[in-house]
Amino acid sequence: MLQMDEQSSPKLRHIWLEVTGRCNLQCTHCYADSGPTSGHGIMSQQDWLRVIDEADELAASSIQFIGGEPTLHPNFLLLLRHAASKRGAVEVYTNMVSVKDEHWSGYQDLGISLATSFYGSESSTHDAMTKRRGSQSRTLKNIESAVARGIPIRVAIISEDDGDQSESATANLLAQVGVTDISWDRVRGVGRGSGIQPEPQLDALCGNCTAASAAVAPSGDVFPCIFARTASVGNVRQKGLADVLGGSSMRGRIDALRDHFARRPPVMRGQCTPCAPDSCNPNTPPPPCRPLELTKPYDPGRPPDKIPFEKLPLREKIPTKRVPKIKPEHDQPN
């Protein structure tokens, strides 16, 4: 979520702008329940421009456009240009199924980075997740095009199981088209993902949502992170972003989340989301899942907290590994 200084002013490091719920895919695990029939929400163009301005005033160092498929928003390029004029780095999390020429030009001219998800080296596996035949080949082609254009791109391999061989084959496929920033994550039990990975919602969170981040939904609701969708702490259509982040709802949510994460067993720690640009370093083992220096060490003897928390056998199955960053066999320009 956020941090507070001594004067209780909110500080923002990273913000997700979920500009639309519409998507040209209907992924089986989508955290936002997005799809072709979903709308763009009730946030107006001016609402989004104002949020970008307010995030910059709070010194946000990174802004990510996400959805749904953010490029489907009718004012996507206008919002992207506005964000690029601010101090923070800008990233677009897109499925890369369809990229317009004007979007390619915008990414290059504005210095935008891209991120996407990939679901398997076999097209049948990938397409089954997206529920769109041919999506794997189109995404892979556009990933390769981004590399060729010199646009920074990172790819998260999302898996429903622990198949090391399958994950390795997927990473190698991505490396062959020039991707060097590859991470791995599991399906999280949020949105449609809860049907694949049933788990308490808080267990789907990585633990960094008390680390000066926030997400704004198409409704204007503000969440601690893009996955914490049941924890709205306010709405930017009713209050300014700073007021929402500095309000009592956010403070209470911070305390509750810190308390929950502090009680999390070691097997639950170090699980990062691929959504945040700097959430993981795939080249090293995952760090302990402790929100900055503010989290107390895990103590199994502590009494239960206010948020329901039970030790499920499911946790023992959650992998904590990462696919190493892989370089192509032939040299590629960065």
What's the mean per-residue pLDDT of the chain?
Answer: 77
The DSSP symbol for 114 reads: E
CA-based end-to-end distance of the chain: 32
CB atoms within 10 A of CB 183: 23
Read off the pLDDT band of 301 (50, 70, 90).
very low
**Predicted pLDDT of residue 279:** 45
How far apart CA 40 and CA 91 sit, in angstroms, is 19
How far apart CA 220 and CA 232 sit, in angstroms, is 10
Q: What is the pLDDT of residues 31-88, one digit of tens each?
A: 888 999 999 999 999 999 999 999 999 999 999 999 999 999 999 999 999 999 999 9
Q: Is the bond leading into 111 cis (omega within 30 degrees of zero)?
A: no
Two tokens, residue 104: 């390619």
Alpha helix (H) ranges present in the chain? 45-57, 76-84, 101-110, 123-130, 135-148, 164-176, 241-245, 248-262
Mean pLDDT for the stretch of residues 303-324 = 29
Q: What is the pLDDT of residues 108-157, one digit of tens each?
A: 999 999 999 999 999 999 999 999 999 999 999 999 999 999 999 999 99
**Predicted pLDDT of residue 181:** 94
Backbone angles phi, psi at 48, to 5 degrees: -65, -40
